[in-house]
């Protein structure tokens, strides 16, 4: 891709040279920055105007703040995700909206804003914030010609849409792979590995049929069920042993209360029915974390896979809420577990682990590809809006 015919020094270190027919301008000379407003007075589920926050549209309003294209800039919280907005709209008081001055392309201004190094301007550590003063002083390189601005914006619209579509397809692939993982595990731990084996009714409505020679027992007959004795404040940054709390994050501690094979899961909080750990070794655990151990008739890892994919779905049905605030021991004790011989369980574990490795390798590779696309998109925008590439004559197809 070609460059411009001639360049000049921009006077801005991170931009370097810019095309001769470009200017350097502060944001305040490109756009007026305006405060968003609290949406409570206009919030209306039957409203016709979108309410924008840092994460996009989250509600509707019966009135609007601005009725022309604008770029939203974070004021508090998510400050590094500018949004291009069509008309008309409302935006909350944790965001700024912008009124673009005549002679400047709103779309190009949006792309310029994506290149801001917000780390240089934010203040506050708990909730990063941006001031109007800081934003107003940020400098951009921009073509003098409005037609050229539009040309650059059109090019970036076309290219970034193609990149975003590729990213979306890869994200959909990851979702399908995750669903395949769940399907593989669920099929293996509820139907076994032999598709031709005779089946029988399990006696459990949601489970349906299971292999004819399998057994079904309540979990109370398969393992011990207990909770830990420590609190979150007992964690130590450089502790000798894993410390299992109510999240997927594994803390550290210098004591251990168990040494052996166990399954751990959050007993309350946001991790209920979502956080599962299979452990074999020394560890300690939170007072509101359940531990399943001393397994009989079933292998610990087999039970781990079965519970991880099935326990939460059934426990949810015991509650009128969409989530369960906390688990009770009887929920575990009375949960029904189907299982075959120990040899079958070993084969099922091997099959699941093999498939998990295969699927995870594809997922990891796809995530790497997504990251490369994101980096390419960021680099492309930067190259175009700083004049390093001349895309004015590029054909869009």
Closest CA to 191 of 180, 200, 182: 200
What are the distances in angstroms from CA 8 to CA 16, 266, 380, 381? 9, 61, 21, 20
Report whether 68 contacts 59 (CB < 8 A). no
Q: Are 199 and 341 members of one domain?
A: yes
**Residue 243 burial (C-beta neighbours within 10 Å; 0-12, 13-18, 19+):** buried
Task: Quote the CA–CA distance of 130 and 95 in Å, as a whole number.
Answer: 9
Q: Are 139 and 189 members of one domain?
A: no
Within a domain: 165: no
Q: What is the pLDDT of residue 314?
A: 81
Within a domain: 219: yes
What are the distances in angstroms from CA 28 to CA 130, 140, 278, 286, 295? 15, 11, 56, 53, 68
Q: In which domain, by residue range, is 269 found?
A: 179-351
**Residue 188 burial (C-beta neighbours within 10 Å; 0-12, 13-18, 19+):** buried
Task: Quote the CA–CA distance of 292 and 279 in Å, as a whole number.
Answer: 10
Q: Are 194 and 126 members of one domain?
A: no
Q: What is the pLDDT of residues 282-291, one digit of tens each?
A: 999 999 999 9
Within a domain: 155: no
Q: Are 221 and 312 members of one domain?
A: yes
Task: Quote the CA–CA distance of 157 and 72 in Å, as a whole number.
Answer: 17
Q: What is the pLDDT of residue 206?
A: 87
Cα Dmax for the chain: 81
Q: Could you write out the DSSP letters of every residue in 195-264?
A: TTS-EEE-S-TTT-EEETT-EEEEGGGT-EEEE--B-GGG--TT-SEEEE-SSSSEEEES--SEEEEEEE
What total number of domains does the chain contain? Answer: 2
Q: Are 243 and 108 members of one domain?
A: no
Question: What is the average pLDDT across 302-331?
Answer: 81
Helices 106-113, 146-191: axis angle to 10 degrees equals 60
Q: Are 218 and 334 members of one domain?
A: yes
Within a domain: 132: yes
Strands 49-53 and 56-61, by their bridges, are antiparallel
Q: What is the pLDDT of residue 87?
A: 86
Closest CA to 94 of 52, 125, 66: 52
Instruction: For residue 97, give the CATH number of its domain.
Output: 3.90.220.20
Q: What is the pLDDT of residues 256-275, one digit of tens each?
A: 999 999 999 999 888 888 89
Within a domain: 361: no
Q: Are 335 and 221 members of one domain?
A: yes
Q: pTM to 2 decimals?
A: 0.85
Q: How confident is the model at residue 129 (pLDDT cuts 50, 70, 90)?
A: confident
Q: What is the pLDDT of residues 324-340, one digit of tens each?
A: 578 899 999 999 999 99
Q: What is the pLDDT of residues 180-239, one digit of tens each?
A: 999 999 999 999 999 999 999 998 888 999 999 999 999 999 999 999 999 999 999 999
Q: Are 188 and 316 members of one domain?
A: yes
Task: Quote the CA–CA distance of 95 and 74 in Å, as a whole number.
Answer: 5
Cis peptide before 88 (omega within 30 of 0): yes
Q: Are 201 and 275 members of one domain?
A: yes
Within a domain: 148: no
Task: Quote the CA–CA distance of 221 and 184 in Å, as a whole number.
Answer: 26
Residue 245 backbone dihedrals phi, psi, to 5 degrees: -110, -160
Within a domain: 3: no
Q: What is the pLDDT of residue 290?
A: 96
Q: Is the pLDDT of residue 14 over 50?
A: yes
Within a domain: 9: no
Q: How confident is the model at residue 134 (pLDDT cuts 50, 70, 90)?
A: confident
The H or E element spanning position 35 is strand 31-35
Q: What is the pLDDT of residues 220-236, one digit of tens each?
A: 999 999 999 999 999 99
Q: Are 102 and 187 members of one domain?
A: no
């Amino acid at each position: 891709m070609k460059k411009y015919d001639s360049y000049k020094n921009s006077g801005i270190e991170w931009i370097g040279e810019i095309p001769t027919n470009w200017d350097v301008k502060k944001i305040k000379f490109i756009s007026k920055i305006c405060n968003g407003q609290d949406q409570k007075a206009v919030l209306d589920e039957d409203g016709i105007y979108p309410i924008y926050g840092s994460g996009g549209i989250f509600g509707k309003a019966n009135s609007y703040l601005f009725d022309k294209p604008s770029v939203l800039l974070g004021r508090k919280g998510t400050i590094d995700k500018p949004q291009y907005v069509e008309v008309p709209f409302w935006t909350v008081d944790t965001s700024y909206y912008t009124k673009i001055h005549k002679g400047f392309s709103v779309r190009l201004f949006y792309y310029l804003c994506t290149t801001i190094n917000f780390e240089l301007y934010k203040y506050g550590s708990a909730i990063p914030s941006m001031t109007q003063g800081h934003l107003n002083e940020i400098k951009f390189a921009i073509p003098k010609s409005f037609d050229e601005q539009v040309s650059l914006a059109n090019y970036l619209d076309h290219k970034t849409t193609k990149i975003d579509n590729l990213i979306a397809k890869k994200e959909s692939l990851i979702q399908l792979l995750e669903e395949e993982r769940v399907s593989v595990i669920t099929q293996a731990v509820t139907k076994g590995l032999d598709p031709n084996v005779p089946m029988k009714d399990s006696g459990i409505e949601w489970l349906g049929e299971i292999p004819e020679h399998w057994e079904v027992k309540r979990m109370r007959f398969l393992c011990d069920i207990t909770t830990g004795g420590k609190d979150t404040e007992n964690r130590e940054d450089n502790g000798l042993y894993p410390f299992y709390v109510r999240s997927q994050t594994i803390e550290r501690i210098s004591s251990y209360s168990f040494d052996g094979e166990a399954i751990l899961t959050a007993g309350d909080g946001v991790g209920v029915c979502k956080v599962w750990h299979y452990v074999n070794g020394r560890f300690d655990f939170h007072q509101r974390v359940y531990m399943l151990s001393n397994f009989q008739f079933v292998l610990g890892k087999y039970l781990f896979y079965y519970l991880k994919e099935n326990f939460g779905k059934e426990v949810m049905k015991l509650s009128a809420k969409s989530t369960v605030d906390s688990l009770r021991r009887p929920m575990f004790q009375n949960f029904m577990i189907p299982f075959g011989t120990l040899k079958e369980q070993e084969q099922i574990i091997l099959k699941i682990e093999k498939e998990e490795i295969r699927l995870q390798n594809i997922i990891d590779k796809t995530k790497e590809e997504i990251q490369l696309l994101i980096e390419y998109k960021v680099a492309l925008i930067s190259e175009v809006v700083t004049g390093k590439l001349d895309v004015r004559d590029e054909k869009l197809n």
